[in-house]
């Protein structure tokens, strides 16, 4: 009972209620005004917000676990590992490092000439920002960016996903309890409320979700030249070459589609498998599935459900539209929004399962004759996915990386790169723009402001820049600034005279070394001779 008083339960919270549309401009004005007081900029303010947020989350643990179970059927294990525990650690990590990140950086590669002006990079907050969360990881994808915004000294409005209403309720409560209400607010709602939010001028918009809404956000933001971070999805390929370990590839790729019932933007959308290894890979998939769900997926407490009926229907329709053969799974249940992990063997890259992001527990497999075909197919299906998963030898996986593009990549694994909380995470091209997590979350909401200070005493040295411009001044400028090329018109390296001396006229390091050895030998010989005389 005592615990219940400290620890928040879902029943203590008001039901999910959209924010009245007419209240939204005032919320925006409030956080903008707060930013302009400049009081969110000091380290102490940011730290205080982060620390109180930490304890509010920590104390709301039971409610947060319950909310994710209600919204997505997520097991406590998954919620803790990928949402709550993740986020708590993230906050502590930021608290620990914030002072270091906020420090001015010395500009790199400054020439001697400009050192007197001390070129440096200040980290300024971008301003008042809007964060739009997603339903699949309702806590991490909302709080991760929010922690970055707070760390950077920004003020922020968070709109959690209305598709995970229970998580949204707890988030609102936690944020209202923990954070400065002048600087941080939650707006609840769907399309209408989001539209009202997008009608305001923000200093950055951080959106996680699909390409369609992402494009709407980007277009709206472009009207006012507002920068965006878009965390979208993609038709992410996994490529299993003939030299891959079939057991590890199967276990790891299957796992990626069990987490959150495959509702993970960074999980593979399809698997290209070398035909040679296909039978063994399929056999290993069946073994792994039996191992992970000994009583079947439907009865496993570890396996989540599809977020809502609309998404469930979309997935079922998608599954019905394929021309492939279902090898494993295929069971669905509308009542519980259950879809079993389903392995489908396809015969064509044009299959509907490869034309869109499935965002569910489907594992379409397309056999390919060789690695070049796999690479060409992956580039054709989606040239800039969020991630890519090559399985094979170092030579093969490095060929895959250097012939493709993607937001990130895990070699010989499924989305491991996305499970390191400090590693920048983001897409490329139409799978997203901007990265966050770890230090990148701070950078995402910071402006790197280049600053110099010109002292009074350099005025004499600066005389060269002032008119009247004379031939002497031009000559002086050329003398002080011009660097010399060390290559000729054909692009071949041609060392300078210093290098000639250093290398004793030898071409390349080997020749120079030989000459030096020769000189040393001669010197020793001369010395010995002289000693004898």
Closest distance between another protein and the C-beta of residue 117, in Å? 6
Window 90 to 119, contacts with another protein (CB under 8 A): 92-93, 95, 97, 107-111, 114, 117, 119
Select 359 or 436, whichever has its Cβ closest to another protein. Answer: 436
Residues 139 and 130: their CA atoms lie apart, in Å, by 16
270 is an interface residue for another protein by CB under 8 A = no
For 325, phi then psi, to 5°, come to -110, 130
Residues 301 and 307: their CA atoms lie apart, in Å, by 16
524 is an interface residue for another protein by CB under 8 A = no
Select 420 or 524, whichever has its Cβ closest to another protein. Answer: 420
Residues 233 and 432: their CA atoms lie apart, in Å, by 7
Nearest to 266 by CA among 419, 411, 129: 419
| End-to-end Cα distance, the chain | 102
Window 292 to 351, contacts with another protein (CB under 8 A): 292-294, 300-303
| DSSP one-letter code for 16 | P
Task: Choose which of 267, 311, 433, 441 interacts with another protein (CB under 8 A).
Answer: 433
Ramachandran category for residue 400: left, alpha or beta (phi over 0 → left; psi -120 to 50 → alpha) = alpha
Out of 265, 357, 396, 444, the active site residue is 265
Tell me whether residue 193 is one of the annotated catalytic residues. no
Select 21 or 32, whichever has its Cβ closest to another protein. Answer: 32
Please give the size of the binding site for another protein, defined by CB under 8 A.
124
Closest distance between another protein and the C-beta of residue 447, in Å? 5
499 is an interface residue for another protein by CB under 8 A = no
For 180, phi then psi, to 5°, come to -55, 115
Task: Choose which of 384, 499, 503, 516 interacts with another protein (CB under 8 A).
Answer: 384
Window 212 to 251, contacts with another protein (CB under 8 A): 214-215, 218-219, 221-227, 230, 232, 245, 248, 251
The CA-atom distances, in angstroms, between 360 and each of 78, 119, 135, 203, 268 are 16, 50, 13, 34, 10
Task: Choose which of 9, 395, 459, 524 interacts with another protein (CB under 8 A).
Answer: 459
Residues 74 and 533: their CA atoms lie apart, in Å, by 91
What are the tokens at 10?
A: 């879902």
Closest distance between another protein and the C-beta of residue 16, in Å? 27
Pairing of strands 387-391, 362-368: unpaired
Closest distance between another protein and the C-beta of residue 405, in Å? 6
21 is an interface residue for another protein by CB under 8 A = no
Site string for another protein, 183-212 (x = CB under 8 A): --------------------x-------x-
Do the beta carbons of residue 197 and residue 226 sit within 8 Å? no
Do the beta carbons of residue 421 and residue 446 sit within 8 Å? no
Ramachandran category for residue 209: left, alpha or beta (phi over 0 → left; psi -120 to 50 → alpha) = left
Please count the other Cβ atoms lying within 10 Å of the Cβ belonging to residue 335: 5
Closest distance between another protein and the C-beta of residue 394, in Å? 8
Residues 248 and 327: their CA atoms lie apart, in Å, by 19
Q: Which stretch in 169-177, 286-294, 311-319, 518-526 sits in contact with another protein by CB under 8 A?
A: 286-294
Window 465 to 484, contacts with another protein (CB under 8 A): 465-469, 473-474, 477-478, 481-484
Residues 447 and 465: their CA atoms lie apart, in Å, by 30
Window 119 to 148, contacts with another protein (CB under 8 A): 119, 121-122, 124, 126-127
Select 11 or 481, whichever has its Cβ closest to another protein. Answer: 481
Write out the E strands in 96-212: 105-106, 120-125, 128-132, 155-159, 184-186, 204-208
Closest distance between another protein and the C-beta of residue 74, in Å? 10
Tell me whether residue 154 is one of the annotated catalytic residues. no
The CA-atom distances, in angstroms, between 281 and each of 248, 250, 274, 325 are 9, 6, 10, 16
Q: CA-based angle 264:142:145, to the nearest 5?
A: 105
Q: Which residue has the tokens 């996986």?
A: 397
Do the beta carbons of residue 119 and residue 450 sit within 8 Å? yes
Select 96 or 530, whichever has its Cβ closest to another protein. Answer: 96
What are the tokens at 270?
A: 């399809």
Select 447 or 515, whichever has its Cβ closest to another protein. Answer: 447
Closest distance between another protein and the C-beta of residue 499, in Å? 13
75 is an interface residue for another protein by CB under 8 A = yes
Closest distance between another protein and the C-beta of residue 139, in Å? 15
Residues 142 and 145: their CA atoms lie apart, in Å, by 6
Select 16 or 80, whichever has its Cβ closest to another protein. Answer: 80
Q: Which stretch in 190-198, 272-280, 429-437, 514-522 sits in contact with another protein by CB under 8 A?
A: 429-437
487 is an interface residue for another protein by CB under 8 A = yes
Closest distance between another protein and the C-beta of residue 18, in Å? 27
Out of 83, 231, 357, 396, the active site residue is 231
Closest distance between another protein and the C-beta of residue 12, in Å? 18
Write out the E strands in 49-167: 105-106, 120-125, 128-132, 155-159
428 is an interface residue for another protein by CB under 8 A = yes
Site string for another protein, 53-72 (x = CB under 8 A): -xx-----------------
Task: Choose which of 28, 34, 257, 417 interacts with another protein (CB under 8 A).
Answer: 417
Window 437 to 456, contacts with another protein (CB under 8 A): 438-439, 447-456
Catalytic residue set? 231, 265
């Amino acid at each position: 009972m005592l615990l219940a008083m400290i620890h928040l339960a879902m029943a203590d919270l008001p039901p999910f209620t959209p924010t009245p549309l007419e209240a939204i401009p005032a919320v925006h004005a409030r956080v903008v005004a707060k930013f302009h007081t400049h009081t969110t900029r000091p380290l102490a303010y940011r730290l205080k917000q982060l620390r109180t947020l930490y304890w509010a989350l920590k104390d709301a643990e039971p409610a947060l676990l319950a909310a994710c179970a209600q919204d997505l059927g997520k097991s406590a294990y998954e919620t803790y590992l990928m949402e709550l525990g993740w986020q708590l650690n993230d906050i502590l990590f930021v608290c620990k490092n914030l002072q270091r990140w906020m420090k001015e950086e010395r500009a790199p590669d400054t020439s001697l000439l400009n050192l007197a002006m001390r070129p440096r990079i200040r980290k300024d907050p971008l301003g008042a920002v809007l964060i739009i969360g997603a339903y699949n990881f309702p806590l991490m994808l909302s709080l991760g960016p929010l922690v970055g915004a707070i760390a950077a000294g920004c003020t922020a409005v968070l709109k959690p996903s209305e598709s995970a209403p229970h998580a949204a309720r707890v988030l609102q409560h936690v944020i209202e309890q923990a954070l400065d209400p002048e600087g941080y607010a939650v707006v609840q709602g769907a399309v209408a409320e989001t539209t009202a939010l997008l009608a305001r001028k923000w200093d950055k918009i951080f959106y996680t979700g699909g390409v369609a809404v992402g494009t709407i956000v980007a277009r709206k933001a472009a009207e006012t030249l507002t920068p965006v971070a878009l965390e979208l999805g993609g038709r992410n390929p996994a490529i299993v070459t003939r030299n891959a370990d079939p057991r590890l590839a199967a276990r790891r790729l299957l796992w990626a589609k069990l987490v959150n019932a495959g509702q993970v933007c960074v999980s593979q959308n399809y698997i290209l498998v070398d035909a040679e290894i296909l039978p063994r890979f399929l056999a290993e998939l069946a073994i792994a599935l039996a191992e992970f769900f000994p009583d079947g997926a439907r009865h496993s407490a570890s396996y989540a459900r599809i977020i809502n009926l609309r998404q469930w229907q979309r997935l079922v329709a998608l599954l019905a539209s394929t021309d492939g053969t279902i090898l494993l799974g295929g069971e669905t249940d509308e009542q519980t929004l259950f879809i079993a992990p389903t392995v489908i063997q396809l015969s064509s890259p044009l299959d509907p399962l490869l034309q869109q992001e499935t965002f569910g527990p489907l594992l379409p497999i397309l056999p390919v004759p060789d690695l070049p075909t796999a690479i060409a197919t992956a580039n054709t299906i989606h040239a800039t996915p969020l991630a890519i998963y090559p399985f094979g030898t170092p030579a093969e996986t490095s060929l895959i990386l250097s012939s493709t593009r993607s937001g990130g990549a895990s070699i010989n694994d499924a989305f491991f790169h996305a499970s390191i909380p400090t590693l920048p995470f983001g897409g490329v091209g139409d799978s997203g723009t901007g990265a966050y997590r770890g230090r990148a979350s701070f950078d995402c909401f910071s402006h790197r402001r280049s600053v110099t200070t010109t002292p009074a005493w350099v005025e004499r040295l600066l005389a060269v820049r002032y008119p009247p411009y004379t031939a002497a001044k031009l000559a002086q400028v050329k003398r002080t600034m011009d660097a010399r090329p060390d290559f000729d018109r054909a692009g071949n390296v041609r060392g300078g005279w210093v290098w000639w001396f250093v290398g004793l006229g030898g071409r390349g390091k080997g020749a120079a070394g030989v000459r030096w050895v020769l000189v040393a030998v001669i010197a020793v010989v001369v010395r010995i001779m002289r000693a004898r005389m």
